[in-house]
Amino acid sequence: MDEPLTVAISSRALFDLGESNELYEREGLEAYRQYQIAHEDDLLDPGDAFSFVRKLLNINKLLNKRRVEVILLSRNSADTGLRIFNSIKAHNLEITRAAFCGGESPYRYMLAFGCNLFLSTQADDVAHALEHGVAAATLLGGSGRPETGGEELRLAFDGDSVIFSDEAEKVFQQQGLEAFSRTEAAAASQPLEGGPFKSFLAALHGLQREFDGMPCPIRTALVTARGAPAHERVIRTLRAWDIRLDESLFLGGMEKTEFLRAFGADVFFDDQSQHCERASPVVTAGHVPHGIVNERD
């Protein structure tokens, strides 16, 4: 791979801006601006995606070359964003590129930056990113969630409507589990179409391959409600794409939270908001508003 794997992240996903955002909601933009200027030398605490970003950037040090890049895409102005850059420097994060959009959505700069993934707490910005073909998720925080330890980056993905298209999910939603199992078994040799995270997963797998002969600091897992016989089509699809996941959990409808805790995911991506909400107390959960389930919301 020639270009680095590029992740765009919002300031509220990277740092805990809850206090200042509450001020903005309560007293407006000018009060928020004055607050950030008055506190621009105060270090911001890590946000929901901080651990993910830190571990991702560490890959450059392990490979001794620039293979990943993180870009800040923010609704802040450059004036209020100075505190964010000061905190980036204080936390020793190698983030040098940013777009401060003065209250407007930053999605229009994603393609120009060549982003593979966008993480934000703004659902509208995430929806715009997905519409423009960029993998994206709305991060959900959870009180009391433990910090992820170690240097290994662990990412967990739902299958249908995230890695894969929602073609099978449509059958399940419209005709039920029996029809879903029957049609998936019949189509086991036919690869599924790609979903919004296919290209990001492919880029991530390419990065894993660069650690050939060395311990890889990236570990991936498929965590899906599918069970037998619907598992076979998934396995054959990934084989056809030449994409490998380190672990595959076929849960047959079981609740995912404890499995995500056991895996130790830094981020879990799922198209169903209820799965993300249940998991958010133990892992950072990214809601991917794509597919038939989200069309009904």
pLDDT one digit per residue (tens) for the chain, 297 residues: 478 999 999 999 999 988 877 877 788 778 888 888 888 999 999 999 999 999 999 999 999 999 999 999 988 888 878 899 999 999 999 999 999 888 788 888 999 999 999 999 999 999 999 999 999 999 996 544 455 567 899 999 999 999 999 999 999 999 998 999 999 999 999 999 999 999 999 999 999 999 988 899 999 999 999 998 999 999 999 999 999 999 999 999 999 999 999 999 999 999 999 999 999 999 999 999 999 999 854
Query: b or e along 73-111 (b: 16 or more beta carbons within 10 Å of the residue's beta carbon)?
Result: bbbbeeebbbbbbbbbeebebebeebbbbeeebbbebbe
Assigned CATH topology for domain 153-295: Rossmann fold (3.40.50)
pLDDT at 144: 41
Whether 158 sits among the annotated catalytic residues: the reply is: yes
Q: At what angle do helices 18-27 and 29-38 cross, to 10 degrees?
A: 140
pLDDT at 142: 54
pLDDT at 147: 57
CB burial of residue 167 (10 Å; 0-12, 13-18, 19+): middle
Contact 240, 226 (CB under 8 A): no
* Domain 5-139, CATH: 3.40.50
Strand partners, 269: 157, 286
* 177 HSE (CA, 13 A, CB side): 7
pLDDT at 149: 61
* 4 HSE (CA, 13 A, CB side): 16
Integer angstrom CA distances of residue 48 from 123, 125, 236: 15, 17, 34
- Taking the C-alpha atoms of residue 287 and residue 139, their distance in angstroms, rounded to an integer, is 6
DSSP letter for each residue of 102-161:
TTS--GGGHHHHT-SEEEES-HHHHHHHHHTT-EEEEEE--TTPPPP-SS-EEEEE-TBT
pLDDT at 18: 81
- Taking the C-alpha atoms of residue 152 and residue 198, their distance in angstroms, rounded to an integer, is 22
**CB-CB neighbours of 125 under 10 Å:** 23
Query: In which residue ranges of the chain is CATH 3.40.50.1000 found?
Result: 153-295
Catalytic residue among 42, 45, 79, 158: 158
